[in-house]
Amino acid sequence: MAGGVKNLDLDEMLSNRDVQPTDSPIAEADRAHQWHPYTQMKDFGSHLPVVKAKGSKLYLEDGRVLIDAISSWWVNLYGHGNEHIKKALNRQFESVDHVLFAGFTHAPATRVAELLLPHLPGKMNRLFFSDNGSTSVEVAMKMALQYFYNQGENRRLLLAFEDAYHGDTFGAMATGGLGVFNNAFSDMLPKVVRIPVPSANGLDATLEALHALPLHEVAGFIYEPLVQGAAGMVFYEANDLDKILNTVKNTGAFLIADEVMTGFGRLETMFASEQMEVRPDIMCLSKGLTGGVLPMGLTTATEEVFKGFYSDDRSKALMHGHSFTANPLGCAAAIAGLELWASPDIQASRQQLMTLQSEAALELEQHPAVDSVRVKGTLLAINIKTNSDSEHYGAFRDQLYAYFTNHGVLLRPLGNVIYTLPPFTTSESEMKHIYDIIRGCLDTLIEA
């Protein structure tokens, strides 16, 4: 394409399997027994052994250091090895490490509620703990569907956006629209109807599709507020989402905000749902909930949702649970994370990061290899011009990933989309290094 870009030349750059030492004991043991996520194990090569993580840096067994520019899948908010969270975990371990949450409770769980509920948008008043983002979505789906079942109302459909991603367990997969994650199970999933994400050209197509659906059969609408993450960091406007939410809300269905990625300050406000006038009935939280240190999920709900299960009939209870529901150590990490969120130092660091991302966006959008740039809060996303496929796990993406890894930065492009979503505590010099590496990658793409 004239004025376009070429693929990275594999002969001009290393892949991560080329630089990984084959005699590494960790890598050898890994190849013998581990099965990694989202990975075709036959052709991947070696995974990189990490021996230490501190601040924004990952230290590899072979001595190299990577800047974690994506917060290890969007989870780490306050830097690896955060001392405040570490001390909280040590204190909690001295009292209660774990206890089942059926028939028992503990102070850390109640403290999470005390600290978190005042920040939640809308009228959230109930917390249901689980293990991760996918399970928080499973619980949300069950809440919406069973609520109407308990009332004797025939609402057995869920509504979602096209190209959405909400997790990899069966219910969460059903609400996702990316075939790479769920094609093998498409005939086995719960019933979900979809509408297009509102585009920059307007909302008409989305509203037309919405009104064509049997909305009286919809129990809940699940959505990623303002940004679809795994779809390629697709942005859409708060005003457009408000109109969709208002339409769905008026049918009596519940609104389910999946804030697994967007929550805890990633998109300017503490929760992206604060930027809409129409607030959710149910929210899904994870990732940054514990500062990215321990796995934990939360599904929050209004009292209206809760009362749909509050009955003399035990069969109307929410019959869902996990062995590690409300694990006290996870709760202690969440408490410490919420304390860090309230600290002036963290807010100053977060503000600096947002400023740096905005400034970088203005510069990078001028690069001839760049098709478009968008930024919101601490998230910066860059679409590269390309005449190759832009599949999530295609060859072009793999070449980009290898380039960044071999230049000391952890970035996992989504097709032809490069994005940075680092810990709030990432320093200005570290961010400038990330931008330098991105710029260097873009330079290699320009046609001679």
Domains 10-80+346-444 and 83-342 fall in the same CATH topology: no
pLDDT digits (tens, 9 = 90+) for 409-447: 999 999 999 999 999 999 999 999 999 999 999 999 986
Q: Give the burial string for 261-299 (b: 16+ CB within 10 Å, else e).
A: bbbbbbbbbbbbbbbbebbbbbbbbbbbbbbbbbbbbbb
Q: What per-residue confidence (pLDDT) applies to 387? A: 72
Any binding-site annotation on 134?
yes
For 248-315, the DSSP string reads: HHTTTPEEEEE-TTTTTTTBSBSSGGGGSSSPPSEEEE-GGGGTTSS--EEEEEEHHHHHTT-SS-GG
Catalytic residue among 68, 131, 240, 258: 258
Catalytic residue among 38, 54, 191, 436: 38
Catalytic residue among 165, 401, 403, 435: 165
Residue 322 token pair:
């996990």
Residue with tokens 């071999």: 406
Q: Domain residues of the chain, as ranges? A: 10-80+346-444, 83-342
Any binding-site annotation on 73?
yes
Q: How far, in Å, CA of 162 to CA of 164, rounded?
A: 5
The packing angle between helices 428-445 and 395-406, to 10°, is 130
Q: What is the pTM of this model?
A: 0.94
Average pLDDT taken over every residue of the chain: 92
Q: How far, in Å, CA of 56 to CA of 66, rounded?
A: 8
Catalytic residue among 287, 401, 419, 435: 287
| Annotation marks residue 258 as catalytic | yes
| Annotation marks residue 57 as catalytic | no
Average pLDDT over residues 61-77: 96
- For residue 10, pLDDT over 50 is answered with no
CB 91 within 8 A of CB 107: no
* CATH architecture group of domain 10-80+346-444: Alpha-Beta Complex (3.90)
Any binding-site annotation on 287?
yes
Q: How far, in Å, CA of 423 to CA of 400, rounded?
A: 21
Any binding-site annotation on 291?
no
| Annotation marks residue 38 as catalytic | yes
Topology, domain 83-342? Aspartate Aminotransferase; domain 2 (3.40.640)
| Annotation marks residue 168 as catalytic | no
Any binding-site annotation on 321?
yes
Any binding-site annotation on 63?
no
From the list 389, 379, 340, the residue with the least C-alpha distance to 358 is: 379
Any binding-site annotation on 176?
no
- For residue 3, pLDDT over 90 is answered with no
